[in-house]
Amino acid sequence: MSASTGDDKQQLLDWIEADRDKLVAFLCEFIRRRSPNPPGDTLEAAAHVMEALTGNGLDYRVIDPNKVMPNIVASFEGGSPGRHLALNGHIDVFPEQEPVPGDRDQWSGDVEDGKVYGRGAADMKCGTTASLFTYIYLNRLREKLKGKLTLVAVSDEETFGPWGARYLADHHPEVFGDCCLNGEPSGMGSLRFGEKGPLWLEFTVKTAGAHGAYTHASPSATKIAVGIITQLEDLSDMEPADLGNLEALIRDASSVIDHEFGDGAARIVRRVTVNPGTISGGVKVNMVAADCTFQVDIRVPNGLTDEDIHKEVARILEAYPQVTYKTLVYNPPAWTDPDTEMARIVRANAMLVSGVDPVPVISLGGTDARLWRYKEVPAIVYGPAPRGMGSVDEHVPIEEFIHVVKCHALSAYDYLTAA
């Protein structure tokens, strides 16, 4: 590292330390500006991002095929030619849960015991804040950078919908660049280089139905649904194709995966998982149900495809002529080389900032990073741990939040100053 580079990186760290209170205040207000998806209106939260850019004298454009789900894109060129780095984060969050007495306000943005609480604190307003301020700080050093930096803050990530990064992938590929850094939850101790693929299926069961005492008169649509759901669990026995060297890497990372994502997470990284998320059937307790609809979230590990799953589903349904099904969503599993340049850069900076070397892992959940990987653009995910993600107790420790901001700023700088 040259003296100049060292001075610049120290300057970035100094700016972030000086802005601690400002950064925390921004995140708290970001959380308070509700952006649940569904329904998907992110206008207030997106305005918070735009206000920060405007306040720092930075231009941006709004790409909004859906007017209540704006995507904010900002770019600047460095002082000399070079590569193009995209900083990607999303503005929308999981929908609000039905509160019960004693629950914390899900949109509080409260600071308590050194932690920021609220919907999206971990997923992913922490990471999006890191992307935003990385963009702001690096603009101050733009003449020393090589290439181009783009901020891609999108809406409509939580439902894999068509109005966010997927829309940009189809209509604005120029924002994708040569590499992506994303701040979705990973935990300080792990770095996500790949992810399983979500396959959402909807099943419909139709029977004649009958009086509840006349169970001989018609099959029950709800009973059939229960039988199918039970058999779908057998999908977890499917064996994915061997990923070669990645198998040992994932196996060696098992303790870290369990630590960051909860006990048992490592066991299912390489397995198909089945979650029957919704089920609705029948009209009255004393009637044999004539219809039932249920939706299943299947996570497909790297080394399997949706075709593999469909073959097994078709085999199960051979015994159920009353049943039809359709695919709601499918995003193939994807991964980047775990030793790609950005992975090495992030690991080095995590060590520099906090003495932590994050272990490369394949994650359970999906992110917009997959869209970069589909274009064969390396994409690395590094953010806070998913503490309470999607629950009433979602939060991020302030020190972890600051760690993520520092790592993103330093890593983006390193990527855009490399020879």
Structure tokens, 178: 């040569």
Q: Say how many residues make up the chain.
A: 419
Instruction: Name the pairing type of β-strands 210-211 and 197-206.
Output: unpaired
* Across 208-231, average pLDDT: 97
Residues 6+ apart with CB under 8 A from 344: none
Letter string b/e over residues 124-135, b meaning 16 or more CB atoms within 10 A of that residue's CB? bbbbbbbbbbbb
| Confidence band of 2 (pLDDT split at 50, 70, 90) | low
What CA–CA distance (Å, rounded) separates 186 from 89?
A: 14
Residue 99 scores a pLDDT above 90? no
Residues 6+ apart with CB under 8 A from 126: 27, 116, 183, 383, 384, 396, 400, 401, 404
Model pLDDT for residues 38-75, shown as the tens digit of each residue: 999 999 999 999 999 999 999 999 999 999 999 999 99
* Start-to-end CA span in the chain (Å): 12
* Across 327-350, average pLDDT: 96
* Across 266-287, average pLDDT: 96
What pTM was computed for the model?
0.92
What CA–CA distance (Å, rounded) separates 384 from 110?
A: 17
What CA–CA distance (Å, rounded) separates 37 from 276?
A: 20
The sign of the torsion formed by the CA atoms of 200, 206, 211, 212 equals: negative
Which SS3 state, helix, strand or coil, does residue 70 take?
Answer: coil
Quote the pLDDT of residue 137. 98
Letter string b/e over residues 377-386, b meaning 16 or more CB atoms within 10 A of that residue's CB? bbbbbbbbbb
* Among the listed residues 28, 31, 29, 73, the one whose alpha carbon sits nearest the alpha carbon of residue 50: 73
> In order of start, what are the domains of the chain with their CATH numbers?
3-195+333-415 (3.40.630.10), 197-330 (3.30.70.360)
Quote the pLDDT of residue 332. 96
Type of residue found at 355: G
The owner of tokens 């969503």 is 329
Quote the pLDDT of residue 368. 96
* Across 278-297, average pLDDT: 97
Letter string b/e over residues 247-270, b meaning 16 or more CB atoms within 10 A of that residue's CB? eebbeebeebbebbbeeebbebbb
What CA–CA distance (Å, rounded) separates 36 from 27?
A: 16
